[in-house]
């Protein structure tokens, strides 16, 4: 079942609504500084549950919240320069976990992180360049 995550833009509070049809259970999650953005939601650990990728916009730090209902485990991923943005997420290698495509805003270089669902280690590959910068990725 799909749930709803609510984030307060100015103070960083987060609430999770665990949905069951039209009923819900509300849980407050830890606050995250508003310098972090929710960059992606996907099943990075291949456990059938949606996880949260948080990204610091100016220094490039990345954290994964591996979710299990309202409980979570936090894991830090390698930093990626602030000029890179999450272009898309999907299971690019078919191993059941969500992978990340990063795009450099100025150069258009696109790197792919293939995520190992067991260790959360990544294999990084430059997969191409898309320029000019006014192209954007379209995903289903």
* Domains of the chain, residue spans: 4-129
Largest CA distance in the chain: 47
Q: How far apart are CA 3 and CA 44, in angstroms?
A: 17
The alpha-carbon radius of gyration of the chain (Å, integer) is 16
Q: How far apart are CA 3 and CA 56, in angstroms?
A: 24
Rounded average pLDDT over 16-26? 95
Say if CB 75 and CB 61 are below 8 A apart: no
Q: Check whether 1 has a pLDDT greater than 90.
A: no
Rounded average pLDDT over 115-134? 92
Which pLDDT value is given to residue 47?
97
pLDDT averaged over the chain?
94
Dihedral (Cα; 104, 86, 140, 23), 10-degree rounding: -160
Rounded average pLDDT over 100-113? 95
The closest alpha carbon to 54, from 17, 95, 27, 86, belongs to 86
Q: Output 57 or 86, whichever has higher pLDDT.
A: 86
């Amino acid at each position: 079942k799909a749930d709803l995550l609510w984030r307060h833009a100015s103070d960083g509070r987060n609430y999770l609504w665990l949905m069951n049809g039209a009923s819900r259970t509300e849980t407050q999650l830890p606050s995250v500084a508003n310098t972090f953005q929710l960059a992606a939601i996907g099943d990075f650990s291949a456990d059938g549950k949606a996880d949260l990728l948080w990204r610091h916009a100016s220094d490039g730090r990345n954290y994964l919240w591996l979710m299990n209902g309202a409980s979570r485990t936090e894991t830090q991923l390698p930093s990626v320069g602030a000029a890179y943005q999450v272009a898309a997420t999907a299971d690019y290698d078919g191993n059941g976990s969500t992978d990340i495509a990063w795009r450099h805003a100025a150069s258009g270089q696109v790197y792919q992180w293939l995520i190992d669902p067991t260790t959360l280690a990544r294999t990084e590959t430059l997969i191409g360049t898309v320029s000019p910068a006014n192209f954007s990725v379209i995903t289903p």
